[in-house]
């Protein structure tokens, strides 16, 4: 009699253990660790990696040679916004001899994902003179960048073949001794006025 009472309970327990458990987040039968990340999870992780301040390491152009010392720039990425600014110089032959022509591009853009590896931006405020003349970008002017992001690098590639390669800047609490010393000197000068 006792064996008959215990058998259905054992069968129910075995069935419960064998039944696939449902992941509370995805609602699927696969546990979270076993399933691939969703599009939203991949994009959230990419956004997390993109956030912060970046220094332009290289400006790569498909048809022009640009020396590393001739271009400087930075990017600041927050959720939904990216600020990009860079300055370049290139030699130009003028009637008075060879001189440097200074070029710049600066802008604040709203951004969103078009795919896991591409963002679409809309100009909030932008201007530059890479075309040879000072030009302002109308608000809402679209831009696209393919993105590659890692722990210390951010690469933005434009459809025309230009690549902007950035290195992550250190957080404020990890500034170099030289930078901290210059900041203290500035504070001291302001205090003397």
Question: Domain for residue 163, yes or no?
Answer: yes
Q: What's the mean pLDDT in 116-131?
A: 92
User: In this structure, are 50 and 76 located in the same domain?
Assistant: yes
pLDDT at 72 over 70: yes
Residue 87 has a CB neighbour count (10 Å cut-off) of 15
pLDDT at 125 over 80: yes
Torsion sign (Cα): 179, 182, 188, 191: negative
Question: Domain for residue 26, yes or no?
Answer: yes
Q: Give the total residue count for the chain.
A: 193
The percent of residues above 70 in pLDDT, for the chain, comes to 78
User: In this structure, are 128 and 92 located in the same domain?
Assistant: yes
Question: Domain for residue 122, yes or no?
Answer: yes
Question: Domain for residue 98, yes or no?
Answer: yes
Cα 19 to Cα 29: distance, rounded to the nearest angstrom: 9
pLDDT at 122 over 60: yes
User: In this structure, are 84 and 127 located in the same domain?
Assistant: yes
**Tens-digit pLDDT profile for residues 74-104:** 999 999 999 999 998 877 766 776 777 788 8
Q: Which residues have a Cβ under 8 Å from the Cβ of 16 and sit 6 or more positions away?
A: none
User: In this structure, are 48 and 28 located in the same domain?
Assistant: no
User: In this structure, are 12 and 65 located in the same domain?
Assistant: no
Question: Domain for residue 88, yes or no?
Answer: yes
User: In this structure, are 25 and 88 located in the same domain?
Assistant: no
Cα 89 to Cα 176: distance, rounded to the nearest angstrom: 27
**Tens-digit pLDDT profile for residues 1-60:** 555 655 555 555 554 555 555 555 555 655 556 889 999 999 999 999 999 999 999 988
pLDDT of residue 13: 54
User: In this structure, are 84 and 130 located in the same domain?
Assistant: yes
Cα 113 to Cα 46: distance, rounded to the nearest angstrom: 10
As a whole number, the mean pLDDT across the chain is 83
pLDDT at 120 over 80: yes
Cα 80 to Cα 110: distance, rounded to the nearest angstrom: 5
User: In this structure, are 86 and 163 located in the same domain?
Assistant: yes
User: In this structure, are 61 and 95 located in the same domain?
Assistant: yes
Question: Domain for residue 100, yes or no?
Answer: yes
pLDDT of residue 65: 75
Q: Which residues have a Cβ under 8 Å from the Cβ of 10 and sit 6 or more positions away?
A: none
CATH for 43: 2.40.128.280
Domain region containing 15? 1-35
33: its two tokens: 């660790």
Total domains in the fold of the chain: 2
User: In this structure, are 132 and 73 located in the same domain?
Assistant: yes
pLDDT of residue 190: 81
Cα 10 to Cα 57: distance, rounded to the nearest angstrom: 65
User: In this structure, are 81 and 142 located in the same domain?
Assistant: yes
Question: Domain for residue 3, yes or no?
Answer: yes
Residue scoring higher pLDDT (23 or 152): 152
Question: Domain for residue 184, yes or no?
Answer: no
């Amino acid at each position: 009699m006792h064996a008959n009472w215990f058998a259905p309970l054992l069968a129910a327990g075995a069935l419960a253990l064998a039944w696939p458990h449902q992941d509370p987040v995805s609602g699927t039968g696969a546990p979270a660790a076993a399933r691939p990340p969703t599009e939203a999870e991949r994009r959230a992780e990419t956004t997390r990696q993109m956030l912060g301040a970046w220094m332009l390491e290289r400006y790569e152009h498909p048809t022009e040679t640009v020396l590393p010392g001739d271009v400087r720039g930075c990017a600041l990425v927050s959720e939904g916004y990216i600020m990009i600014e860079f300055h370049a110089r290139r030699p130009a032959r003028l009637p008075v001899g060879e001189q440097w022509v200074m070029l710049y591009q600066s802008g604040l853009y709203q951004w969103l994902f078009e795919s896991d590896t591409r963002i679409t931006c809309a100009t909030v405020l932008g201007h530059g003179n890479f075309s040879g003349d000072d030009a302002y970008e109308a608000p809402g002017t679209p831009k696209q960048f393919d993105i590659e992001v890692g722990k210390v690098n951010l690469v933005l590639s434009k459809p025309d073949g230009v690549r902007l390669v950035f290195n992550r800047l250190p957080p404020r609490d990890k500034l170099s001794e030289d930078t901290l010393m210059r900041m203290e000197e500035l504070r001291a000068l302001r205090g003397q006025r």
